[in-house]
Amino acid sequence: MNTFIPNTQMPHTSQEHSPLNNRASRLEYFSTIPWQLFSTHFITNPNAGSERWRSIWHRYLARVRALHRDTLAYIWSEESRSVHDDLHRVPVHYHALWFSNNAPDTRMLANEWNSLAGLGGKPIEIDSYDPCRDGLAYVLKLADRDDCHWDFSNNLSLFLPEGVDLSNAQCRRRNRRHLGRANGVLPSACVAGIRLTDGTFHGQ
């Protein structure tokens, strides 16, 4: 587990690092975020070798953050069925949860993934998040394993006012930017940009 904020050399705050300790505290902490979307991502580009899987995923996150005009919270994990010692191997894929004050545009999420990962088969499936279906536990089901790659965005505490770190100028500026975007006039996101699935978690 990387202790730095994705794509930076800045460590997570102590508030954000606390859920890394054990499964129960992780689930408790992350369940306080009112997640909006659950997504599953497969790489179907035949030219994308295994050494490029993770780089594709991180490029995707960078694109989505750049295109979404609001503070975007997410948590993700990488999975392959071989880690379960199943008889039938399933290629590496990713599960993610998303939340923002302005709901993420599902069409944008799908288009950006397709452009990087390929169009064969079903490269991405997006579903409305239902807390009763244990999607969070599903994303984090392998998080205790040393070979599991997972991480979360650097801004979860911004959605939990009691947990916002205002101890230094950098953190205070980050919180002001978040509040400005949350209270600003932004165009409504297209939540129904692609057909949502029937609620099943594909890849289980």
197 domain-assigned: no
What local confidence, expressed as pLDDT, does residue 203 receive?
35
Which one has a higher pLDDT value, 131 or 45? 131
What local confidence, expressed as pLDDT, does residue 200 receive?
34
8 domain-assigned: no
137 domain-assigned: yes
Q: What is the pLDDT of residues 166-188, one digit of tens each?
A: 556 655 665 565 555 554 433 33
What local confidence, expressed as pLDDT, does residue 71 receive?
86
39 domain-assigned: yes
Q: Give the whole-number percent of the chain exceeding pLDDT 70.
A: 60
Nearest to 109 by CA among 76, 136, 155, 87: 76
What local confidence, expressed as pLDDT, does residue 96 receive?
97
Which one has a higher pLDDT value, 133 or 76? 76
Position of tokens 């606390």? 18
What local confidence, expressed as pLDDT, does residue 183 receive?
47
24 domain-assigned: yes
What local confidence, expressed as pLDDT, does residue 162 receive?
54
What local confidence, expressed as pLDDT, does residue 148 receive?
84
163 domain-assigned: yes
Which one has a higher pLDDT value, 147 or 128? 128
Which of 7-16, 76-85, 111-120 is predicted with the least confidence, judged by mean pLDDT?
7-16
- Exposed, middle or buried, 180 (CB in 10 Å: 0-12/13-18/19+)? exposed
CA 125 – CA 43 distance, rounded (Å): 12
Domain that holds residue 176: 14-183
| 8 A C-beta contact, residue 27 and residue 119 | no
| 8 A C-beta contact, residue 153 and residue 99 | no
What local confidence, expressed as pLDDT, does residue 202 receive?
34
203 domain-assigned: no
Q: What is the pLDDT of residues 62-104, one digit of tens each?
A: 999 999 988 899 999 998 765 555 545 667 889 999 999 889 9
Our count of domains for the chain comes to: 1
Which one has a higher pLDDT value, 105 or 4? 105
CATH of the domain at 61: 3.40.1310
189 domain-assigned: no
